Amino acid sequence: MQFSTLVFAALASLASAQTTSTGKMIAVTVGINGTLKFSPDNIKASVGDMVQFQFVAGNHTATQSNFDNPCQPLSMHNASATGFHSGFQPAAASKAMGMTSVYTIPINDTKPIWVYCAQGKHCEAGMVMVINENTAANSSRSLDAYKKLAAGASTVVPSGNAANSSTGGTTGTTTGAPGASATAAGMSLAAPSTVGLAAIAAVALLMI
């Protein structure tokens, strides 16, 4: 059953967070109130932090690109780069069970990470974001500039192709309302200010 995979992924994510991460969890809601938006869309994250995409509405992805080629997976322009891809996350399905699907990526360095949604024309419509924008290093590479490039993207690579670059994150579900705070016994993640980690564990255990 597909759900067990998600559940195990969630548990694996918690387990690896326990042993490898000392950072904080930063929540990004995806598609809030039916918008084509990552909220917030410009965040700073330190090495060891986790960024958790929370798919609260619609049917979106969080997919990594490079700056110059928005709307296309990183691997399409660099065969040796993997780059993450959440897969499509239809919120209604998890909502029907009182849950929210989440996709969590670890932050390994502070280079800018460019992210888009691979659904339909969402990327062109500005459904993009950046982690660790660094205009001091290159003033051309701002979120605004990335958005402008995305608006004019001639090729959008969604589902099938983006799936090739699917690595680097974990998918799970949570009942925690975005904004809920919780700590789980044994977690070495700093008490997450925005994410209900304990809720993930609770749901995972219930599902199993």
Ligand X SMILES: *[C@@H]1O[C@H](CO)[C@@H](O)[C@H](O)[C@H]1NC(C)=O
Q: Which does 90 bind (CB under 5 to 8 A by kind): ligand X, Cu ion, none?
A: ligand X
Classify residue 15 by burial, with Cβ atoms within 10 Å: 0-12, 13-18, 19+.
exposed
| Chain residues in the site for ligand X (CB under 6 A) | 32-33, 39, 59, 67-68, 73, 75-76, 78, 80-81, 84, 88, 90, 105-108, 113, 119, 138, 140-141, 159, 161, 164, 167-168
Piece of the chain touching Cu ion by CB under 5 A; list 113-121, 142-150, 174-182, 195-203: 113-121
β-pairing, 25-30 vs 50-55, is parallel
Judged by CB, which is closer to ligand X: 65, or 119?
119
Output the smallest distance, CB 3 to ligand X, in A.
Answer: 15
Residue from 107, 117, 189, 199 in contact with Cu ion (CB under 5 A) = 117
Dihedral through CA 74, CA 76, CA 80, CA 83, nearest 10?
30
DSSP state of 166: -
Q: Are 176 and 200 in contact (CB under 8 A)?
A: yes
The pair of three-digit structure tokens given for residue 106, joined into one six-digit string: 């670890």
Applying CB under 5 A, which residues contact Cu ion?
A: 60, 117, 119, 122, 127
